[in-house]
Amino acid sequence: MDQSLRPQLITVPPSEFSRAAARLLRREVMGAAKEGEACVMLSGGSTPLALYALLGDDPLGELPYQRMQVFFGDERWVPPPSKQSNGGEALRLWLVKRQLAPSHFHPFFGDTPADARQRVEAALHEVARKRGGPEMDVTLLGLGEDGHTASLFPGSQALHERAWTAETRSPKPPLVRLTVTLPVLEASRHVIFLVRGTAKHEVLGRLMEGDPDLVATRVHARRVTVLADLEASSGVALLPRPAERGKPSR
């Protein structure tokens, strides 16, 4: 794989992981907000929960919430009050505390999966109307042990989907998932994978080597960074910072 296309790897001690993630996110949001509006796509799963709790306590200073539009890369089809709800947990730990306006929050919530997808796609089309595409300023993603990201699983038909959202099936419950698709992820200015724990060591090495069998390797955004703790990254080669893939268009 061309080294210039590989992500930048940043490693931190486990105790510093959430604070480092907060600094990265804050830098991207503040930079985008200076130009107008910051579009942010958040990751689900357990890895970012400590980050959301940290941001809810606001230790690094107030973010420009009035100029943020907040999306989610994927969602488990469970009621929002459930502890398994990605959007619900982000609201509880962070966004309600910081009083993000409901009109600035675009989770996969709805009466049916189709309704939830329609709501998210409408919000993405509003972004595209202003930017020429579903462009996020920063997208946070997780990395599964099988190489999946968002709810794009190996072998899923959603990997070939050109619509901006899809309904997928997870190999683990909750089985029904809603997710944005590769065209949305690839429209991001900056994708940041959040990777922590010894269980992710092998798949992280494969991602950094550009293993084409991983779903995560197919995310070719303009800039891709991997933030990993030392438990996940031990022995994984640090690579030079890659050139950005194209110029941001506004």
pLDDT of residue 74: 98
Q: What is the value of pTM for the model shown?
A: 0.92
Q: Which amino acid is at 161?
A: E
Task: Tell me which CATH code domain 3-217+227-233 carries.
Answer: 3.40.50.1360
Q: Where are the domains of the chain?
A: 3-217+227-233
pLDDT digit of tens for each residue in the chain (250 aa)? 344 467 999 999 999 999 999 999 999 999 999 989 999 999 999 999 999 999 999 877 789 999 999 999 999 999 999 999 999 999 999 999 999 999 999 999 999 999 999 999 999 999 999 999 999 999 999 999 999 999 999 999 999 999 999 999 999 999 999 999 999 999 999 999 999 999 999 999 999 999 999 999 999 999 999 999 999 998 886 544 444 444 444 4
Dist. CA 225–CA 233, nearest whole Å: 13
pLDDT of residue 1: 38
pLDDT of residue 235: 80
Dist. CA 57–CA 41, nearest whole Å: 20
HSE-up (13 A, CA, CB side) for residue 160: 3
pLDDT of residue 244: 47
Q: Is the dihedral of CA 105, 111, 116, 118 positive or negative?
A: negative
pLDDT of residue 6: 78
Q: Which amino acid is at 17?
A: F
pLDDT of residue 237: 61
pLDDT of residue 238: 53
